[in-house]
Amino acid sequence: MQRQFNLQPSIYFTIVLVVSHGAMLAVLVLLALPLWAKILLASLVLTSMLYHVWHDAWLLALSSNKTLLLDGDMILLVARNGDQVIARVLADSLVTPFLTVLNVLPQGRHLARSVIILPDSLDAESFRQLRVWLRWGS
């Protein structure tokens, strides 16, 4: 039985990304590095934060996953620009009441991808259905 899940931007994920990147910036200040190295590393951390908030939390990038179609142990990831990736759901995916990390292996590829889903990424019933499907199968 095929199930469709439409992802929404996540405030929770945005907060996690901003806090974790902010903590990294605070650690950089304490390191005994030359000023130019701190500035370089801080710019890399800020670039990482902006990219992941834009792409993964707010889902504004054209390559952001917008829709998940689950069927058996296969998944179809549909991006905002319409690109589709068929993948196999891996057994090491994480399912908890507050966080779901969907590890998938796209067909014809050797490197896995992860889709991070928090409770505000889906409506409550869809999030529950996704967790049940991942934990117990279709």
Please tell me the distance from the alpha carbon of residue 52 to that of residue 111, in angstroms, as a whole number.
19
Residues facing 70 on adjacent strands: 3, 75
Task: Pinpoint the alpha helices (H) of the chain.
Answer: 11-30, 35-52, 124-136
Q: pLDDT tens-digit profile of 51-77?
A: 999 999 999 999 999 999 999 889 999
Percent of the chain with pLDDT over 70: 99
Q: Which whole number is the average pLDDT over 74-82?
A: 97
pLDDT of residue 116: 98
> Cα separations (Å) of 96 from 67, 118, 125?
20, 10, 15
How many angstroms from the chain centroid is the CA of residue 22?
19
Confidence of residue 138 (pLDDT cuts 50, 70, 90): low
Please tell me the distance from the alpha carbon of residue 55 to that of residue 49, in angstroms, as a whole number.
10
pLDDT of 108 strictly over 80: yes
pLDDT of residue 1: 74
